[in-house]
Structure 1
Amino acid sequence: MSVSTMTTKTEPTQPSSTPVGFNVLAWSAVMSEQLNPIADRLKTIGYDGVECFIDNQPVAAYRQFGEHLAQLGLQSTCVTVVGPDQNPASESASVRAQAVDFLKGAIDRAQAMNASVICGPIHSAFATFSRREPQPAEYAHSAEVLHAVGDYARQAGIVLAVEALNRFECYLCNTMSQLSTLIRQADHPNVRAMFDTHHANIEEKRFPEAIRTIAPVLAHVHISENDRGTPGDGHIPWDDTFRTLAELNYTGWMTIEAFTRNDIDFANSINVWREYNDPWDIAENGLSFIQMMQSKHGFRA
């Protein structure tokens, strides 16, 4: 048999390892030097990076934290939300302009921290409802804002990973199907999507189908238990999640997002009324759980 007619057995592609991060919102939404010792311990535990909240705090505070992370050898990502005065889906052109300005400011802060990703429900105002189903014009307005901000993100080397939330926190994007439609409308290489296991547990019928739906634009994953406590302690379909991500050769961040009442103002703003687990229990046992699941489903170490 000639070389040209031989058939070669192709081995399944082994998924690459993915960086694992921890969202410091479990301690505080405020950027300050008080996060430094938290980052130190997360590095010791074995995390690849940390995720922090971005709002309108001084750019210098993010730069200082980024310098501390660099000294530790930690990478970073960020999360943010928009309010009703900066709503990308608003019918008001002036409100949409404020959305662009706010998100550009978030990009400036993320760039100062050397972050690679800004994730969150930046498609529409958090916990703001129109009392009707999503309208085509709202998707169009949101997509226009995201495309404009995508240009700004590209020059900063940052990916915007847009997040779908559950029905109790937003109405524009609850599912991966809705989110995929919006990202296609935004039509920008720096505007991509995030999959959050907590929200998917409420809104999606089956995780594998949801993940495959968003796979072409998937850039970030939040590992979050159904009760927002330690991953692996609840009823999220973790095997389905990790198996599907492995099959798709996902190589982006897997970042734990869990909540506590350590930051009272933040906890009250997102309706967290009780403690789920101690944050260090979440960090230590959560990392062990992710590493175990990655190994089980074939991610390279």
Structure 2
Amino acid sequence: MSLSNSSSAMTAEQFSPIGFNLLVWTAALSEAMNPIADRLKEIGYDGVESFIDTQDVSVYQQFGDHLKQLGLQSTCVTVVGPDANPASESASVREQGLMYLKGAIDRAHAMGASVICGPFHSAFATFSRREPQPDEYKRSAEVLHAAGEYAKQANIVLTPEALNRFECYLCNTMQQLSHLVQLADHPNVRAMFDTHHANMEEKRFPDAIRTIAPVLAHVHISENDRGTPGDGHIPWDDTFRTLAEQKYTGWMTIEAFTRNDIDFANSINVWREYNEPWDIAENGLKFIKAMQAKYANS
């Protein structure tokens, strides 16, 4: 799999691999996820995405071994809190941020993952009550560069994520995220595009995707309500057409949420159910494959 854009026309063999984020069930990895991975493989997924926290490395190793037996690839997602904020004025807090990211890289490596995505450029849902400052981008970029150097040893690409204004203030748009990634200036620090957040923050999806395309290495396919992709009002034709035009061949991973994991749901303000997990997985996969085929020759 190539995380970089291809210069040749996209063919069936070059379609982006399709992943499914396990957060629709739980944020905690355990052997209980093995049967879910089995079924995702049977349905036709290329990989799964798992949340990384501070569980023992052996948990990720065991799950990764199961994925390898199935022939599934893996990616990961993580966040940082205010005590490990890479954009903090405090050097000790930034150091905690770097240590946390190194721990996440160790766990992802144990699982055999190729990508760690998420809004780890700054603390989730933590606000300064002012617009983002140049020094905050600089501090965050320095931490990301150091984390990228560590990730390089594990052959992992870090893809920080822009979030909507209600969950983040440092990076809401692809323009801001592109600026941060350029400041980080490391080949293992790239970017991701999430359709849910872009739906709130970007004027036009094609412009946003073209802005981030030079450093784009991961995409979250996520409906406006976090339910089944294709059931809502995300501009999907614009999304898939532009990704195809840009010859994007990295992951397209479905990220959807439910209240199955109450603590996680409460932490991200998910207060109701959208669709059943297997409805999201089965119909979402069909939708992505149909859209990839539709724009295969763009």
> Who is 2:100 aligned against?
102
| Contact 1:162 1:193 (8 Å CA) reproduced | yes
Runs of 4+ in 1 over 4 A off after TM superposition: none
User: How do 1:199-214 and structure 2 match up within 5 A?
Assistant: 199-214=197-212
Q: Secondary structure at the match of 1:191?
A: coil
Q: Which amino acid aligns with 1:99?
A: G
For residues 242-270 of structure 1, what are the alpha-carbon distances to aligned partners after superposition, in whole Å with 9 as ceiling and x for unaligned? 00000011000000000000000000000
Aligned-pair CA distance for 1:14: 2.9
Runs of 5+ unmatched residues, structure 2: 1-7
Q: Choose from 29, 32, 41 the match for 2:30.
A: 32
> Who is 1:3 aligned against?
none
Distance 1:79 1:247 in 2: 27
Q: Secondary structure at the match of 1:195?
A: strand
User: How do 1:209-288 and structure 2 match up within 5 A?
Assistant: 209-288=207-286
Pick closer, same or farther for the CA change 1:114–1:299 going to 2, 3 Å.
Answer: farther
Distance 2:91 2:83 in 1: 11
RMSD (Å) for aligned C-alpha atoms: 1.0
Runs of 5+ unmatched residues, structure 1: 1-11
1:13 aligns with 2:9: yes
Distance 2:21 2:177 in 1: 22
1:87 aligns with 2:64: no
Aligned-pair CA distance for 1:31: 1.1
Distance 1:179 1:168 in 2: 16
Q: Secondary structure at the match of 1:78?
A: strand
Instruction: State the TM-score, normalized to the length of structure 2.
Output: 0.96
For residues 149-201 of structure 1, what are the alpha-carbon distances to aligned partners after superposition, in whole Å with 9 as ceiling and x for unaligned? 00000000000011000000000000000000000000000000000000000
> Who is 1:63 aligned against?
61
| Contact 1:17 1:299 (8 Å CA) reproduced | no
**Among the aligned pairs, what percent are the same residue?**
79
Distance 2:84 2:297 in 1: 39
User: How do 1:175-190 and structure 2 match up within 5 A?
Assistant: 175-190=173-188
| Contact 2:144 2:184 (8 Å CA) reproduced | yes
Larger radius of gyration: 1
Q: Which amino acid aligns with 1:45?
A: I
Aligned-pair CA distance for 1:13: 2.3
| Contact 1:242 1:293 (8 Å CA) reproduced | yes
Q: Choose from 109, 121, 132 the match for 1:134.
A: 132
> Who is 1:196 aligned against?
194
> Who is 2:156 aligned against?
158
Aligned-pair CA distance for 1:299: 6.5
Q: Which amino acid aligns with 2:205?
A: F
Aligned length: 289
Aligned-pair CA distance for 1:104: 0.0
Q: Secondary structure at the match of 2:190?
A: strand
Distance 2:9 2:30 in 1: 43
Instruction: State the TM-score, normalized to the length of structure 1.
Output: 0.95
> Who is 2:289 aligned against?
291
